[in-house]
Amino acid sequence: MAGEDGDDPDWAMAPEGDATFPENAEKREALREVADEIRARDDSSEASQIGAFLYRVSDLYKEGEETSIPEIYMNMRHILEVREQGGLDPEE
């Protein structure tokens, strides 16, 4: 990921974390079920974003998935910033 070496100010704000998570299908599926339920009960963009966050967190428990807490944090932070500014191209 770009900026992982600390030269990107956003990456510097990411939480530190080298934690690893063992594969756990039960936890992964529980997180995804909650995400799906939230999306089914509320079709707002906020519900969709929470669902996406839960899916990303569930990836921590997927064998072979290369993600980390800082990567998930930065991904979700970027999504929220884009939303706050009015989308990917707010000038349109």
Residue 34 lies in a domain: yes
Residue 72 lies in a domain: yes
Residue 42 lies in a domain: yes
Alpha-carbon span 38 to 19, nearest angstrom: 27
pLDDT of 26: 97
* 4 — pLDDT class (breaks 50, 70, 90): very low
Residues 35-89 pLDDT 10s: 999 999 999 988 999 999 999 999 999 998 888 999 999 988 988 888 888 877 7
Domain that includes residue 57, residue range: 21-84
* 15 — pLDDT class (breaks 50, 70, 90): low
Residue 47 lies in a domain: yes
Residue 91 lies in a domain: no
pLDDT of 19: 80
Instruction: State how many domains the chain has.
Output: 1
Alpha-carbon span 7 to 55, nearest angstrom: 28
pLDDT of 58: 96
